[in-house]
Amino acid sequence: MSIIKLHDKYFKNFISKEELDKAIKKLAIQIYNDLKGETPLFVGVLNGSFMYAADLLRHYPAPCEISFVKLASYEGTNSTGTIKNLIGLNGNVAGRTVIILEDIVDTGNTLQEIYTLFEDKNVKSLKIATLFLKPDVYKKELPIDYIGISIPDKFIVGYGLDYDDLGRNLPDVYQLTTLHMKNIVLFGPPGAGKGTQADFLKSIFNLIHISTGDVFRYNIKNQTELGKLAQSYMDAGNLVPDEVTIDMLKAEVEKNTSANGFIFDGFPRTVSQAQALDAFLAEKGETINGMVALEVPEEILVTRLLERGKISGRPDDQDEEKIRNRFNEYDTKTAVLKDFYMAQGKYFGVDGVGSIEEITSRLNEVIKKL
């Protein structure tokens, strides 16, 4: 995943130059086949279409002409909805087949201006060939004859498209992303106070707390497709596969697309899960900032859990042998994950002994630096 910074914003890889070239070549052949020997006049809409226009002409297998108009309707990353500047055509287009080369069509305001521009030009035929279309926000009923690539409503740069004048020279297309998110893997042995601390941390840093246990219970209780799938494995006495767990976590993340970040609690538990989480976040231009582990001596934890068992009545907190078996399982799994995140420079051990406030303060200091 390649991340670039233009001015104050970050952008991630979206469409490669190879994909762009393939789409443009396909457009050129479609147009050629439709025109049946005519010599078209291509009209590129500046500034964004200059690279697209050049490559389409390079792929066009017959004689053609090109001219340009300029229609400016963007400031920053938002369309103003009004056309501020217009430079007309050079030469007579009457009786010609004119093909407008648009870099991107979103709301259709620029396209409307183009149609208005050509109303009195007496062209034989006016066609639109856009490299990118945002179908989710296209508001007009005007025909678009050729579409290279349909994309979601995300701001993009590169290959002629800019963010406040930067990025036009990039050979690939990049999509706006955010790098301000804090994504934390919170770990701690049973009794370390992980759940209590997660409640404080999500309030302090305005994060979404995703507990694997809670997610499982929600999906199973509400009989979601993933919940029913997980239940089928459990009913058969089998472990729920990583893919099902990961899909549940993905669904939780997708529910909170505007979040400032996430606290992953109880996940990942294996290296393969950690790798899958990294891959999923990388697709979104994000990453795990750190694995923060509460470190508490086992004897203190045994005492805590036995006391908790007296209050809660939980049988697994009343049997010391079962408690120590849980620690062995935790140590085995955490040791591997500790190595995984340490290799990335992302493991942070925090002293989990003391008052709740003291431990929160220690965690706070670590997470602020991530």
Classify 180 as helix, strand or coil.
Answer: coil
Known catalytic membership, residue 304? no
Out of 9, 127, 194, 202, pick the active-site residue.
194
Whether residue 62 is found in the same domain as residue 116: yes
Count CB neighbours of 5 within 10 A: 10
Count CB neighbours of 186 within 10 A: 28
Known catalytic membership, residue 26? no
Give yes or no for residue 179 having a pLDDT over 70.
Answer: no
CA 217 to chain centre: 27
Whether residue 157 is found in the same domain as residue 217: no
| End residue of a domain, out of 177, 208, 228 | 177
**Average pLDDT rounded to a whole number, residues 68-73:** 71
**Average pLDDT rounded to a whole number, residues 37-44:** 94
**Average pLDDT rounded to a whole number, residues 108-132:** 89
Q: Which residue in 195, 367, 361 sits closest to 291, CA to CA?
A: 367
Known catalytic membership, residue 168? no
Whether residue 312 is found in the same domain as residue 325: yes
Q: Which residue in 348, 182, 321, 164 sits closest to 260, CA to CA?
A: 182
Out of 26, 304, 326, 346, pick the active-site residue.
326
CATH of the domain at 132: 3.40.50.2020
Whether residue 217 is found in the same domain as residue 110: no
CA 351-198-212 angle, 5° bins: 115
CA 205-207-209 angle, 5° bins: 130
In angstroms, the CA 244 to CA 113 distance is 49
When divided into structural domains, the chain yields a total of 2
CATH of the domain at 339: 3.40.50.300
**Average pLDDT rounded to a whole number, residues 215-227:** 92
Per-residue pLDDT at 284: 75
Whether residue 17 is found in the same domain as residue 67: yes
Q: Residue 85's pLDDT band (boundaries 50, 70, 90)?
A: very low
Amino acid at 232: S
Out of 96, 127, 134, 269, pick the active-site residue.
269
Classify 78 as helix, strand or coil.
Answer: strand
Is residue 216 within 8 Å of residue 265, measured between CB atoms? Answer: no
> Residue 157 pairs with which residues in a beta bridge?
174
Is residue 294 within 8 Å of residue 352, measured between CB atoms? Answer: yes
pLDDT, mean over the chain: 88
Percent of the chain scoring above 70 in pLDDT: 94
Q: Residue 2's pLDDT band (boundaries 50, 70, 90)?
A: low
Whether residue 266 is found in the same domain as residue 189: yes
Whether residue 251 is found in the same domain as residue 324: yes
Per-residue pLDDT at 46: 86
| End residue of a domain, out of 121, 143, 177 | 177
Helices 271-283 & 242-255, crossing angle to 10 degrees? 30
Whether residue 231 is found in the same domain as residue 358: yes
DSSP strand pairing (3-6 vs 65-72): unpaired
Whether residue 161 is found in the same domain as residue 194: no
Give yes or no for residue 78 having a pLDDT over 80.
Answer: no
**Region of 81 on the Ramachandran plot (φ > 0 left; ψ -120 to 50 alpha; else beta):** left
- What is the 8-class DSSP label of residue 90? S
Percent of the chain scoring above 90 in pLDDT: 54
Whether residue 198 is found in the same domain as residue 339: yes
pTM: predicted TM-score of the whole model, two decimal places: 0.54
Highest mean pLDDT among 11-15, 61-65, 237-241 belongs to: 61-65
Out of 255, 314, 322, 368, pick the active-site residue.
314
Out of 17, 284, 308, 346, pick the active-site residue.
308
Q: Which residue in 358, 333, 5 sits closest to 190, CA to CA?
A: 333
Residue-range definition of the domain harbouring residue 135: 3-177
Which tens digit of pLDDT belongs to each residue from 201-217? 999 999 999 998 899 99
Count CB neighbours of 99 within 10 A: 24
Per-residue pLDDT at 180: 63
| End residue of a domain, out of 177, 202, 231 | 177
**Average pLDDT rounded to a whole number, residues 148-152:** 96
Give yes or no for residue 76 having a pLDDT over 70.
Answer: no
Tokens 């229609």, residue located:
71
DSSP strand pairing (146-150 vs 125-133): parallel
Is residue 49 within 8 Å of residue 101, measured between CB atoms? Answer: yes
Token digits for 16?
A: 């490669």
In angstroms, the CA 53 to CA 183 distance is 41
Whether residue 265 is found in the same domain as residue 301: yes
Cis peptide before 109 (omega within 30 of 0): no
Q: Which residue in 150, 156, 153, 93 sits closest to 126, CA to CA?
A: 93
Per-residue pLDDT at 75: 54
Q: Residue 81's pLDDT band (boundaries 50, 70, 90)?
A: low
**Average pLDDT rounded to a whole number, residues 241-253:** 90
Whether residue 223 is found in the same domain as residue 171: no
Least confident of 12-21, 137-146, 165-174, 253-262: 253-262
Amino acid at 114: I
Token digits for 234?
A: 């459990």
